[in-house]
Amino acid sequence: MLLRIAADSLVLFHLCFILFVLFGGLLALRWRRVIWLHLPAAAWGMAVEFFHLPCPLTRWENLLRQLAGQEGYGGGFIEHYVLTLIYPAGLTPQIQLGLGALVLLVNLAVYGWIIRHWQQR
């Protein structure tokens, strides 16, 4: 049971990391120190999408599920609702490139605004 809870918790962390990669630059508008956490996270998120790299969080989650005696994603709330956001059906390399481009564009816009704001000071 603890291993399944750990795997479910890792899925929630994974979702939060993805949201941070996509929208963490917005936090940097308010808290400047977030930039030092967000830039490497965004770079990693883009690298995973652009170069189709395996995410270690996925590997760890699957390992925890196997150790818990699970084969796949079963019937709980987290598996049903959250996993489909992280691992959508029909995910193709082209969609991954689009997702990586979305992350890049959102962050370029946010950091462009931050740089302009700093220059005006």
Structure tokens at 118: 């700093």
CA distance 32 to 34: 5
Q: Are 3 and 68 in contact (CB under 8 A)?
A: yes
Block means of pLDDT (10 residues each) for the chain, 121 residues, are: 89 90 90 94 90 84 85 53 73 86 92 90 79
Q: Where are the domains of the chain?
A: 2-120
The pLDDT tens digits for 94-105 are 888 888 899 999
The pLDDT tens digits for 83-92 are 677 777 787 8
- Of the candidates 112, 88, 110, the one whose C-alpha atom is nearest the C-alpha of residue 23 is 110
